Amino acid sequence: MTRPSWDKYFMEITELVASRSTCLRRKVGAVIIKDKRILATGYNGAPSGLNHCLDIGCLRDKLNIPSGERQELCRGIHAEQNAIVQAAKFGISLDGGEIYVTNQPCITCSKLLINSGIKKIVYKNPYPDELAIELLEEAKIILERYEDENR
């Protein structure tokens, strides 16, 4: 029996976290680690205690807003944002950490990850946001696409 690589281990956990998502468009999960230890997790969905899109419908669908545009017109919080907020709520520093995400971060999440001190991002699915990539490169954050070794 072989053990999974660290990347596979954390990405599989990230996919499990994404299964908690309440977004009707895209299920995204995030796991922040440091020294191979999980610091925080997050998935996309409405703020705590508020109605979820699963229950009341998607505002973005109702307004015919294309994916990747007008992020402010959504009741949901991105997975990366929720993971950062979870860490802040419990007083956990993310400085020098890494994040595993099911989808490449958008520009807003990229800026938050830069300021939180994340040094490496491992993502599974691409997201068409060139400005996010430019800022991450400028900040010298490693952006690495995960490739499942079982493929």
Cite the active site residues.
80
Beta bridge partners of 30: 42, 101
For residues 145 and 125, the answer to whether their CB atoms sit within 8 Å is no
DSSP helix/strand/coil, 149 = coil
- 52 annotated as a binding-site residue: no
Question: Which residues neighbour 129 within 8 Å (Cβ) at sequence distance 6 or greater?
Answer: 68, 104, 105, 106, 107, 110
Rounded to the nearest 10 degrees, the angle between the axes of helix 107-116 and helix 130-138 is 20
- 106 annotated as a binding-site residue: yes
String of b and e for 65-93 (b: at least 16 CB within 10 Å)? beeeeeeeebbbbbbbbbbbbbbeeeeee
- 23 annotated as a binding-site residue: no
Annotation: binding site: 78, 106, 109
Binding residues for Zn(2+): 78, 106, 109
